[in-house]
Amino acid sequence: MRYQIPVRAFQNLAMIFLACFMLIAIGAGYWGVVRASELQARDLRRQIERELKLDRGRILATDNSVMAETVFDDEGLAQRVYPYPNLAPVLGYWTFRYGKGGLEAAYDDYLAGRRGQRGLDVFDELMHEPVIGADIVTTIRPALQVRADELLDELGGRGAIIVMEANTGRILALASRPTYDPNLYAEQAEALVVDEAQPTLNRATQGLYTPGSVFKILTLAGALNADLAPPEAAYPQQPYDAPGIFFVEGFPIREGSDRPYNNYPFDLYHALSYSSNVTFAQLALALGPDGMREMARTFGFGEEIPFDGLPTAASELGSDAFLLDRVGLANTGYGQGQLLVSPLEIALVTAAVANGGIMPQPQIVQQIRSRTGDTLADFPPRGWKRPMSEGVAAEVRQAMIVSGSEGFARAGAPEGIAVGGKTGTAQLGGDNEPHSWYTAFAPAEGPQIVVTVIVENAGAGGDVAAPIARELIRTALAP
Amino acid sequence: MSSYRLDPRSFSWRWREFLLLLPPFLLTGAGFYSLQLQRGDLLVERYWPAIALVVGALLMHLIFSWLAPHADQVMLPLVTMMNGLGLLIIERLASNFTVRQTVAMGIGMALCTALVLWNDGPRFAERYRYTLILPGIFLLVVGLLLSFAGSEVGDPGRSVLSITGTFGVQPSEPLKLLLVLFLASFLDFHREKFQTVRLTRLFTDRRWLWLFIPLVGMWGISMILLILQRDLGAALLFFGIFLVLAYLATNRKDYVLLSLLLFVAGGFFAYHSFGYVAQRFAAWLDPWANADTGGFQLIEALYALANGGIFGQGLGQGFPDFVPIVHSDFIIIAIGEELGVAGIIAVIALYILFLLRGFHVAMRAPDSFEQLVAGGLISLLSLQALIIMAGCLKLMPLTGITLPFIAYGGTSLVTCYMMLGLMLRISRDRVEV
């Protein structure tokens, strides 16, 4: 028998090898399971590949009509199709090269199937079954949306329309002009970004405008809150210095029309109804800079309005220095000065008036649904701010109803429907035509909807914006 | 025992081997079918690699049943499983390479069978141990010349000798086989010196000279590979196999530790003296910061693993081709992405079974030389699998060696089959217990 190597040596060696193989297995598990999600987040190439082949969820309107869906071309690559391109300000865009915008970006996790999948699908995920993105159901009412787009297109100018459910803040229609075709975004992206008209700006939520007289609703609410405007008193509280003119530090505050001076003195409701600049300048002076600042804060000025992840602009009251100047403060009181307000803010203020003082949070997505129709998530309406007591809201509402029945805002009331409204004609200085504003709730008793319209550089609010609102109120409340 | 004669009348069904061959056949067939389904073109010729595998393995099985009925019955099915998996992944990743790999498989299987049937094989290697050095040196020099020629064209890692343009030979692959045979016979022959010399008499006992010859020689070869050929993987492999054989032959831990220290010192010196070694290390420690200087492959490999998750994306469903040269060095990564961590663990399980079976054969070999050859060969294959997998998984600096029996590489596959043949030959003359 020749020499034999001890069995012990083989055993020791085998143990070392086994331990090393175990380490390899642990290493595989470490990268493939423990660190997997972190690595996947950095792995852009696979993300792109996955995106190009992903069956992305659809965006639906309230009646389940499709606003955005994914179809696949001959090579199996995903193409995003928008059957209703005018809704671009809400829907946004989905492109490979230029990223995403609007709801496509805000709800990307759901649409791409990364969130909202059912718990039972853990097995599918382990087996890497193809992902089908969840559908998101918006609050858009297509008939109303189509009408809003038509009305804005007929004018041909720039502007925005918001139609909102009064007590829930749900957006029923939202239009912004100029806009773009999301089907062609990838081809036009570079031109759109440099376009002076800013077609990619959602004017309804991101546009900031001088509000003009629609701001008087806020001054009124602020004055009522501070007990500075007793409804039974006579207005303007300080008499005119000259016909239709009141001097602040030598600066003349002029009424916008002859009506307030001809009817002088009038009550608080008619102060709004006649859109008396002098009355609201005096109320602002009485409130003082701090009072105005506090009032604006309670209405959400200085904050970006939470809007389901869509971009919004914060409304601005003006600089401290400007408000400390009494002339500046007086001008701010009736909607001029340094004020910059978004149409969405005005719509929410109107909704708060109609809604007993509760300002709803605007909502555009009400449900997440699987492709097979199962509800994955429901989003109930939410309140955002409480800027007024119920009593104050009732007084402001009464003033808007008077305005909508006797005042300039009457132009926005369709036949047979009483509304509470307010016009605005925002003076811009120089040769610029004023912005034409209109905001209203309807019907006057038991408000259901809020309509806010702005048309840039179009003239008086009662002439341009109000007829659009009237048509939309008629359409929205048609049985 | 070497006087054992083949008896053609001794045909005996090797049922265990036959039954164990069925799973690899089924897996490979199902895998090729699945790939053809995804491609949509159900071409019969695309099944040829799978058919060749089945036919080749069955032929070997029949020949063994007839001429070597007592050879180990588990190793061939394990290798068939690895080779089938390899063909499948290569077909999925780079189907233009599948035919070459299949041809190499055929050559490998033929050589393997021949080695099993060569009665005097081990004795021949033992007798001509010093003669083995000549082709070994030749292969080493050719490999070095190739790497120098490669650095002139800007590819210092080049190590393939291209003969016709279609088929290339990688000299370092057969070199491994020769190395195991030489070291086994040398260490076995001088075993008594190894076992009796004391470390404390390092300078007074002249027999130490004999002990230093292999140590210095192997250290030198490893350093040449590391510094001149820039092949850390081969250096590690060659020196590792020397350590394994030294340990088995001498059973002396102090000698092994001394050698290991010497190697570590050499590596440390190379790290500080040669920029590219340090660069490799940096790319390993933080691939993201060194993506331009070699970290890129590793990053992509880790992304592929993360994408695979536990059960993988499914064969043909991932993007393993994002990883450069995925079909050879990174094939385990492709398995990880498409078959998941579960797939990698299955491959590891195959290597563990293969390792245990190899040691089983080695322990039962008739004498210490054959024990050393079998133990050395199985350790070489296991070490090679460990080094490349550890590199792909960022457990150690990345090296360019093949995953035995699975990765693309004709010379490697042929050499691996030859090693299998030697091990089966060593197991042949013992009756299964």
- SS3 of A293-307: the string is HHHHHHCCCCCCCCC
Burial class (CB in 10 A: 0-12, 13-18, 19+), A28: buried
Distance of CA A399 to the CA centre of its chain: 26
Q: What is the pLDDT of residue B276?
A: 78
* pLDDT tens for each residue of A368-398: 998 888 898 999 999 999 999 999 999 999 9
For residue A181, the tally of other CB atoms under 10 A from its CB is: 15
Supply the mean pLDDT for chain B.
86
User: Is some CB atom of chain B closer than 8 A to the CB atom of A194?
Assistant: no
Tell me which residue in A5, A18, A28 faces B344 most closely, judged by beta carbons.
A28
Give contacts of A131 with chain B, Cβ < 8 Å.
none
Percent over 70 (pLDDT), chain B: 91
A115-129, A257-271, A317-331, B99-113 — which is least confidently predicted? Answer: A115-129
- How do residues A413-422 score in pLDDT, each as one tens digit? 999 999 999 9
- Measured between beta carbons, the chain B residues lying within 8 angstroms of A40 are 303, 306-307
What pTM was computed for the model?
Answer: 0.71
Which value does ipTM take for this structure? 0.93
Is A19's Cβ below 8 Å from some Cβ in B? no
| Identity of the residue in B248, B319, B389 whose CB atom sits nearest the CB atom of A46 | B319
Question: For residue range A458-477, what is the model confidence (pLDDT) as tens digits?
Answer: 988 889 999 999 999 999 99
* pLDDT of the residue at B162: 54
- pLDDT of A127 reads 66
Q: Inform me whether the C-beta atom of residue B393 falls under 8 Å from chain A C-beta atoms.
A: yes
For B269-286, what is the mean pLDDT? 85
Q: Which residue has the tokens 């004018």?
A: A155
> Considering only alpha carbons, which residue of chain B is nearest residue A3?
B368
pLDDT of residue A1: 53
Q: Which residue has the higher pLDDT, B292 or A392?
A: A392
- The reported pLDDT for the residue numbered A30 is 96
pLDDT interval class at A121 (50, 70, 90) = low
Tens digit of each residue's pLDDT (9 = 90 or more) over B217-272: 888 888 887 777 777 888 889 889 999 999 999 888 888 888 889 889 988 888 88
A356/B314 Cα distance (integer angstroms): 59
Contacts of B255 in chain A (CB under 8 A): none
Helix runs in A127-206, H state only:
142-155, 185-194, 203-206
The larger pLDDT score, comparing residue B430 to residue B55, is at B55
Q: Which residue of B has its CA nearest to A4?
A: B368
Contact A28/B at CB under 8 A: yes
Encode pLDDT of A37-69 as tens digits: 999 889 888 888 877 888 899 999 999 999 999
Query: Which of B 170-209 lie inside 8 A of A, CB atoms?
Result: 191
CB of A10 less than 8 A from some CB of B: yes
For position A385, what pLDDT does the model report?
A: 93
Q: A23, B317: Cβ pair inside 8 Å?
A: no
A-chain residue closest to B337, CA distance? A32
CB contact under 8 A, B305 and A9: no
Nearest CB to B306: which of A9, A31, A126?
A31
Cβ density class A377-395: b for 16+ within 10 Å, e for less? eebeeeebbebbeeebbeb
What is the SS3 assignment for B406? coil
Q: Tokens 């008077």 map to which residue?
A: A402
- At residue B406's C-alpha, the angle toward residues B404 and B407, to 5°, is 85
Query: How does pLDDT run across A168-187, given as a tens digit for each residue?
Result: 999 999 999 999 999 999 88
* A36 to B390: CB separation less than 8 angstroms, yes or no: no
The answer to whether A29 faces chain B, any CB pair under 8 Å, is yes
| Band (A24; pLDDT cuts 50, 70, 90) | very high
In this predicted structure, the answer to whether residue A334 has a pLDDT above a threshold of 80 is yes
- Is the pLDDT at A273 greater than 70? The verdict is yes
φ, ψ for residue A80 (rounded to 5)?
-95, 130
Expressed in percent and rounded to 5, the helix, strand and coil fractions of chain A are 45, 20, 40
pLDDT band at B433 (very low <50, low <70, confident <90, very high): very low
Contacts of B382 in chain A (CB under 8 A): 17, 21
pLDDT confidence band for B2 (50 / 70 / 90): very low
List CB contacts (< 8 A) between B313 and chain A.
128
pLDDT at residue A122, as a whole number: 64
Q: Are strands A59-60 and A135-138 parallel, antiparallel or unpaired?
A: parallel
Nearest by CB to A13, which of B244, B368, B386? B244
Out of B307, B322, B336, name the one closest to residue A40 (CB).
B307
Q: How far apart are CA B113 and CA B55, in angstroms?
A: 14
pLDDT, average across residues B203-228: 79
3-class SS at B284?
helix
Q: Give residue B340's pLDDT band: very low, low, confident or very high (50, 70, 90).
A: very high
Please count the other Cβ atoms lying within 10 Å of the Cβ belonging to residue A478.
10
